[in-house]
Amino acid sequence: VLIKVKYSGINYKDALATVENSKIVSSYPMIPGIDLAGVVEHSDTHAFEKGDEVIVTGYDLGTSHFGGFSEYARVKEEWIVPLPKDLTLEEAMIYGTAGYTAGLAIEKLEHNGLSIEKKDILVRGATGGVGTLAIMMLDSIGFDVIASTGKKGAEDKLKALGAKEVISRIANSDQKALGKRTWQGVIDPVGGESLSQIVKQLDYNGMVAVIGMTAGAKFDSSVFPFILRGVSIIGIDSVYTEMRQRKHIWRRLAKDLK
């Protein structure tokens, strides 16, 4: 399907794709842009026709298939999501992959029991793409959100987005097996060693949605939070989400998460 691209976004992964000898680009030349929204110009399939408004995020886009930073993009029909009602092409790419991923993380946490009746939710990397959009979405569906940031002076902005409270970045500060039960759920685009501390601070049956690694890719943990508090680590992959769930998340981004 040939798409006339109207909007794309700049994501963390686009930056990774443009560094020299990038590990995520499989061959050169490559046009970056891991997401796009546009209008079908030509279709060789019955699933789409000229004039349809569509979204594409993830898969090989911008890494091993020419991406969204282009006037036209030719992609497989299996990658395409029809633009939901109540969302414009521009809004879709204001969300972009970061917003889609925040929505997917919220959906998966809810599926595992996230509830406005329980303790607070922590959003790490709060001033980032995933973080800011996660705060706005969680606030819009009624959760109390605590935002964790390393940026001094971001408090007013984060509160204006919907955070109830703003705290500093959480460090991996002690060797204890368990910490104070603080979070029912955590949206974590940060990762790194401090993820161990986050796991120790989860409430009974608490969950952390692990999304990214801006602070590093490795962390250690004992088994104790898992066997004494029943906590879960939930992995979030926006790239290969299956199509039914992908369409569902985009519909939510046009409705209750908007």
Query: Which residues of the chain form contacts with ligand NAP (CB under 6 A)?
Result: 11-13, 97-98, 101, 125-131, 149-151, 169, 189-190, 211-215, 236-239
User: CB 173 → ligand NAP: shortest distance, Å?
Assistant: 14
User: CB 30 → ligand NAP: shortest distance, Å?
Assistant: 17
- 116/171 with CB nearer ligand NAP: 171
- 123/202 with CB nearer ligand NAP: 123
What are the beta bridge partners of residue 207? 185, 232
**SS3 category, 89:** helix
- 1/253 with CB nearer ligand NAP: 253
Please provide the DSSP assignment of 103-128 as one string: HHHHHHHHHTT--TTSS-EEESSTTS
List CB contacts of 256: < 8 A, sequence separation 6 or more: 140, 141
What is the β-pairing status of strands 145-149 and 232-235? unpaired
Q: How many CA atoms lie within 13 A of 91 on its CB side?
A: 14
| Cα–Cα distance, 240 to 189 (Å, whole number) | 17
User: CB 58 → ligand NAP: shortest distance, Å?
Assistant: 7
Q: Please say whether the beta carbons of 112 and 134 come within 8 A.
A: no
Find how far residue 25's CA is from the centre of its chain.
20
User: CB 34 → ligand NAP: shortest distance, Å?
Assistant: 9
User: CB 113 → ligand NAP: shortest distance, Å?
Assistant: 21
- 44/193 with CB nearer ligand NAP: 193
- 118/151 with CB nearer ligand NAP: 151
